[in-house]
Structure 1
Amino acid sequence: MQLSEILTISCTSCDVKVTSKKRILERICQLAANQVGDIEQDELLESLLNREKMGSTGIGNGIAIPHGRLPNTSKAVAVLITTEQAIDFDAIDNRNVDIFIALFVPENSCKEHLKTLQSIAQLFSDKKVIKQVRRCHDNQALYNLIQQASHTIDAI
């Protein structure tokens, strides 16, 4: 599954003002909870925190892909947030992070989860896409950029 298929405009947010790893994860869960509906924000946060305990999802170059599994759902949800200032996220390259692509997937969708993570990593390995994401200061423009970039990657 591609990011463009599970990301909505309501889960896309630019220039968020946060100062810590905990606060960005809470903001991600706040947006996702509105999309998921029947799963509480605290349960979403617990899912992300459990994954972060295994090792940071900060993949380097100012990017993190926090992800968690959701029980009792068949719907995957993505959240894309850029922050006003980069924050410490314990990334593998020790750089602060300002682009967060969070992913919540059904508990029983392991293979699909890995494919989605792979497509996100591929999309955000493109330096041009990363620069364009960082230049966006409008939620709709950021959402449109990801939709367009995802379709370009699919065509390759």
Structure 2
Amino acid sequence: MKLGDYLAKDFVLPELLSENKSDTLKELIAPLGVKYPEMDTDLAVRVLLDREQLGTTGIGDGIAIPHGKLENLEKVIVLVGRSFKGIEFDALDQKPCFIFFLVLAPEQAAGLHLRILAQISRLLKDKTFRQSLLEADGSEELWGLLKSV
């Protein structure tokens, strides 16, 4: 399974400007509203915030992997964002997050959803890969790095 199969070039945000969890989720979801105008992006943000109430998806080491399931979604979608200044995301290590992988999955895709989360987690455990994400120059370089993994 390749993560790049669930990611689109316009779903890679090289410089998030938000400063808090709620705004970050809205900023990450925004490209979906552009590509899929019929999508209820407000609902997607509410689903993600509801998931955050169960426990933070800020896993530490500057990483957050917000995720949720949407009833009317046809396929798994992955969005990636990066913050240079760091965003308070209630991470387990109480430090700001710089790398965000957001995963939305259809309600009926539980197995695939979990495999994608596991793949992201494996990738982000690699300190060299994390450093490459942070140092990539703009969206083209980020996309080049992500589409092949």
Query: TM (normalized to structure 2)?
Result: 0.94
Structure 1: any 5+ residue segments left out of the alignment? 151-156
What's the offset of the Cα at 1:37? 4.1
Instruction: Report the equivalent of 1:153.
Output: none
Work out the CA distance in 1 between the residues paired with 2:100 and 2:110.
Answer: 21
What's the offset of the Cα at 1:36? 4.1
Instruction: Report the equivalent of 1:58.
Output: 58
The 3 A distance-change label for structure 1 pair 108 and 5 is same
Instruction: Report the equivalent of 1:68.
Output: 68
2:42 partner letter: D
Structure 2: any 5+ residue segments left out of the alignment? none
1:67 partner letter: H
CA contact (8 A) 1:15 1:137 kept: no
Work out the CA distance in 1 between the residues paired with 2:62 and 2:118.
Answer: 17
Q: Is structure 2 residue 112 aligned with structure 1 residue 125?
A: no
1:71 partner letter: E
RMSD: 1.3
- Aligned-residue identity in percent: 29
Aligned length: 149
What's the offset of the Cα at 1:96? 0.6
Work out the CA distance in 1 between the residues paired with 2:8 and 2:123.
Answer: 17
Query: TM (normalized to structure 1)?
Result: 0.90
